[in-house]
Amino acid sequence: MEKRLKDYLDKHNIKYNTHSHPAVFTVSESKKLKKDIPGLHTKSLFLKDDGENYYLVCMPGEKRLDIRSLQLRLNVKKIHFASPEELKAELNITPGSVSIFTMIYSKSTKLILDEELWNAEIVTFHPNINTATLELTHKNLKKFCDSLKKEKSVVSL
């Protein structure tokens, strides 16, 4: 785990369990790890609308995002994946390692959490690298989200 994230979690007294593993780049690759890591496995999608607004959508790993429904919910005409360059500039990360924890770098990204993820007892995210997974209780997920001082929505995706 990068030092800045570890320091951030420690500063905000956010407790977690770490699981190290080989690099994974997709949800399908991470399926092999599920049996060894407890909790709801997640994915994080970095999206952008035509108005130059950024969104980090965090949801259960197996769930498909209904882009049309999200566009209606956000009242935007079109939403799509942001470029790798925008991802690096806005969240200081490269594709394959995006997670909720990149929000510590966010300049203006809005965080959108699926309610199934939000209501889970335990959730898992990469700690900004894809060779480990952090396991958080709901209490610590809430503590992390509250520490961000960023716009956050919990919605049914």
CATH code of the domain in which 66 resides: 3.90.960.10
Report pLDDT for 29: 64
The dihedral built from the CA positions of residue 66, 24, 110 and 48, taken in this order, carries a sign that is negative
Residue 25: predicted pLDDT: 62
* Beta-strand relationship, 122-125 and 79-81: unpaired
- Note down the domain range covering 22: 3-155
pLDDT given at position 97: 84
Residue segments in the chain with a per-residue pLDDT below the cut of 70:
24-35
Q: What is the pLDDT of residue 20?
A: 85
> What pLDDT score does 18 carry?
92
Q: Domain count for the chain, please give it.
A: 1
State residue 145's pLDDT score. Answer: 96
